């Protein structure tokens, strides 16, 4: 019965949006002719039947029937459905236990504690990340790509994260246009960025600029004026859309000021997609690099809700801080060496390996260097993961990109050799649960190949991508009325007393 109810609910939603589109059609402006170019692949034609049946928001991932509906219109229809579904679920199962907490978990970074609700993605130990039920290979198949390209556009991924549905190419094009319209920076933020010392870390510049954008927060203004809590999501949505649109401009300004002497244009071309505009503002003109950026921004966008950046955005947002303040807090977490600097550490390790063993080391030389690394008390950077127990699919798709576009690159070939040698060695130690590579083992190598050598900047790219996932989650946090986060803490003495009872 629940299954039938979900299907009926979706049909009612589609009917509403269809009727709304008919009313809106007579006076809605068409997108500029130039914007109609540059996109391909209609998900209607390629969405496999098995993917349509993956459970998501009260229904199933499928192509949206109402092609002309905007993202906000789709959300406005879906949110009441999900509110009712969660309300009924909590009423029936609110007291059900989801797991147990051990003392080791409390001292061990809360690893493994099932304590958060995140709708946008779930990390499976064997299959890797699933965005609203879809794996990365599935996303590559069904999400719209640019004309002449193969990689999914991040706009489509954001739509999927927000709605649980695969967008049409028209909806993705519409989102690209909307972000282009919202992209301009306030002059005070431009002045602030242009006056920052070039010695200031790019992540510090990013966080400061995002906080300064809070000056124009629609959420903060609405809250101060006493808006009803059922409307919170609407203003969180507006701020999130504005912030995502502006982030490439902020990030490109930081890059050009810090590494290019301020040269370059930060103008937005409304005929280009989000990633293409970003690459253009960074000063690159390689179509392959643009494709890589589309892939990079898609696969780094979300990774459940328990990682430092995602959890921080959720935590700060739970206090009803606006999306700018919440996201800036998350970026300060991402800047930490244990979270967002891993791909830099991989490159540093690779360079040291090359210096000691040469650019084309033998398998025996690699084994010797890897054992030397491990015996010195260090880890092999880019290998292992807190949750994953197989090769990270984000690594795999980057490897496939490299095999297609740069198979002869010296650094890529070294990474490929390491891929064959490291897992057996880590397994032999008996101390590693996951001996396979993660996303960080590959991303830096690709960026280096296309000329982006500035490793301190890589985390900024990560941050721009991560905005898609954490801000989509933040909108849903406000839509579902999730309360301020306030777990109980205990002292060591209290824990010792507990175990004596």
Q: Which residue has the tokens 């050799």?
A: 417
For residue 67, the model assigns a pLDDT of: 63
Distance of alpha carbon 376 from alpha carbon 379, whole angstroms:
9
* Strongest mean pLDDT among 18-22, 98-102, 248-252: 248-252
* Beta strands at 121-124 and 128-131: parallel, antiparallel or unpaired: antiparallel
pLDDT grade, residue 92 (50/70/90)? very high
The answer to whether 179 and 241 have CB atoms below 8 angstroms apart is yes
pLDDT grade, residue 1 (50/70/90)? very low
Domains and CATH numbers, the chain: 342-449 (1.10.230.10)
> Which of 51-65, 237-251, 367-381, 425-439 has the weakest average pLDDT?
51-65
For residue 17, the model assigns a pLDDT of: 52
What is the helix, strand, coil percentage profile of the chain, to 5? 60, 5, 35
Tokens of 467: 């905005």
pLDDT of 477 higher than 70: yes
Beta bridge partners of 402: none
DSSP codes of every residue in 217-240: -HHHHHHHTT--GGGHHHHHHHHH
Distance of alpha carbon 111 from alpha carbon 495, whole angstroms:
18
Read off the pLDDT of each residue in 105-123 and give the average, rounded to a whole number. 94
State residue 492 phi and psi, 5-degree precision.
Answer: -60, -40
For 31, the 3-state DSSP assignment is coil
From 110, 156, 172, select the one nearest 308 (Cα to Cα).
110
Q: pLDDT tens, 65-90?
A: 356 789 999 999 999 999 999 999 99
DSSP codes of every residue in 103-147: HHHHHTTTTT------SSEEEETTTEEEETTEEHHHHHHHS-EET
Beta bridge partners of 238: none
Q: Count Cβ atoms within 10 A of the Cβ of residue 30 and give its class: 0-12 exposed, 13-18 middle, 19 or more buried.
A: exposed
pLDDT grade, residue 238 (50/70/90)? very high
Read off the pLDDT of each residue in 368-396 and give the average, rounded to a whole number. 89
For residue 14, the model assigns a pLDDT of: 53
For residue 271, the model assigns a pLDDT of: 96
Q: Count Cβ atoms within 10 A of the Cβ of residue 65 and give its class: 0-12 exposed, 13-18 middle, 19 or more buried.
A: middle
pLDDT of 230 higher than 50: yes
Q: pLDDT tens, 396-430?
A: 999 999 999 999 999 999 999 999 999 999 999 88
For 152, the 3-state DSSP assignment is strand
For residue 4, the model assigns a pLDDT of: 40
- Catalytic: which of 124, 339, 405, 409? 339
pLDDT of 48 higher than 60: no
- Catalytic: which of 300, 314, 385, 442? 385
For residue 310, the model assigns a pLDDT of: 98
pLDDT of 40 higher than 60: no
Percentage of the chain exceeding pLDDT 70: 87
Tokens of 406: 């740069």
493 a catalytic residue: no
pLDDT of 332 higher than 90: yes
For 467, the 3-state DSSP assignment is helix
Q: Which residue has the tokens 């051990």?
A: 102
Percentage of the chain exceeding pLDDT 90: 79
For residue 84, the model assigns a pLDDT of: 97
- Catalytic: which of 273, 302, 322, 440? 440
Distance of alpha carbon 196 from alpha carbon 205, whole angstroms:
7
For residue 42, the model assigns a pLDDT of: 44
pLDDT grade, residue 50 (50/70/90)? very low
20 a catalytic residue: no
pLDDT of 44 higher than 50: no
pTM of the model: 0.88
Beta-carbon count within 10 A of 230 CB: 13
pLDDT of 183 higher than 90: yes
385 a catalytic residue: yes
* Beta strands at 121-124 and 55-56: parallel, antiparallel or unpaired: unpaired
Considering only residues 432 and 201, tell me which one the structure prediction assigns the higher pLDDT: 201
> Which of 184-198, 255-269, 385-399 has the weakest average pLDDT?
385-399
Considering only residues 4 and 202, tell me which one the structure prediction assigns the higher pLDDT: 202
For residue 388, the model assigns a pLDDT of: 76
For residue 32, the model assigns a pLDDT of: 39
The answer to whether 251 and 278 have CB atoms below 8 angstroms apart is yes
For residue 459, the model assigns a pLDDT of: 97
Distance of alpha carbon 234 from alpha carbon 72, whole angstroms:
8
């Amino acid at each position: 019965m629940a299954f039938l109810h979900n299907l009926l609910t979706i049909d009612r939603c589609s009917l509403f949006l269809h009727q709304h589109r008919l009313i809106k059609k007579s006076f809605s402006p068409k997108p500029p002719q130039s914007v109609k170019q540059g996109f391909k692949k209609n998900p209607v034609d390629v969405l496999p039947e098995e993917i349509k049946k993956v459970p998501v928001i009260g229904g199933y991932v499928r192509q949206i029937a109402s092609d002309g509906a905007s993202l906000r219109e789709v959300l406005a229809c879906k949110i009441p459905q999900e509110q009712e579904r969660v309300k009924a679920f909590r009423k029936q199962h609110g007291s059900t236990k989801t797991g147990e907490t051990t003392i080791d978990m409390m001292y061990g970074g809360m690893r493994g504690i099932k304590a958060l609700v995140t709708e946008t993605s779930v990390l499976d130990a064997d299959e890797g990340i699933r965005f609203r039920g879809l794996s990365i290979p599935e996303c590559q198949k069904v999400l719209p790509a640019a004309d002449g390209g193969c990689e999914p556009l991040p706009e489509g991924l954001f739509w999927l994260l927000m709605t649980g549905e695969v967008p049409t190419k028209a909806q993705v094009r519409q989102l690209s246009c909307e972000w282009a319209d919202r992209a301009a920076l306030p002059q005070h933020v431009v002045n602030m960025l242009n006056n920052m010392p070039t010695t200031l870390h790019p992540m510090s510049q990013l966080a400061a600029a995002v906080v300064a954008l809070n000056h124009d927060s629609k959420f903060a203004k609405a809250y101060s004026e006493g808006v009803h809590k059922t409307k919170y999501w609407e203003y969180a949505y507006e701020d999130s859309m504005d912030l995502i649109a502006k982030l490439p401009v902020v990030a490109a300004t930081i890059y050009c000021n810090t590494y290019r002497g301020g040269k370059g244009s930060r103008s937005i071309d409304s005929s280009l997609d989000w990633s293409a505009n970003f690459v253009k503002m960074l000063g690159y003109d390689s179509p392959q690099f643009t494709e890589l950026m589309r892939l990079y921004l898609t696969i780094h966008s979300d990774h459940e809700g328990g990682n430092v950046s995602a959890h921080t955005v959720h935590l700060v947002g739970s206090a009803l801080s606006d999306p700018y303040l919440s996201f800036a807090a998350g970026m300060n977490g991402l800047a930490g060496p244990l979270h967002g600097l891993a791909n830099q550490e991989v490159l540093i390790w690779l360079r040291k390996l090359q210096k000691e063993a040469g650019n084309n080391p033998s398998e025996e030389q690699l084994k010797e260097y890897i054992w030397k690394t491990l015996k010195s008390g260090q880890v092999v950077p880019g290998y292992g993961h807190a949750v994953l127990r197989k090769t990270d699919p984000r690594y795999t798709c980057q490897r496939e990109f490299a095999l297609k576009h740069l198979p002869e690159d010296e650094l890529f070939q070294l990474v490929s050799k390491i891929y064959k040698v490291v897992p057996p060695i880590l397994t032999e130690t008996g101390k590693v649960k996951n001996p396979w590579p993660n996303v960080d083992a590959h991303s830096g190598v690709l960026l280096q190949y296309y000329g982006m050598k500035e490793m301190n900047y890589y985390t900024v790219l990560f941050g721009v991508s991560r905005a898609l996932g954490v801000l989509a989650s933040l909108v849903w946090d406000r839509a579902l009325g999730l309360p301020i986060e306030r777990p109980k803490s205990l002292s060591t003495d209290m824990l010792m007393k507990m175990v004596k009872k």
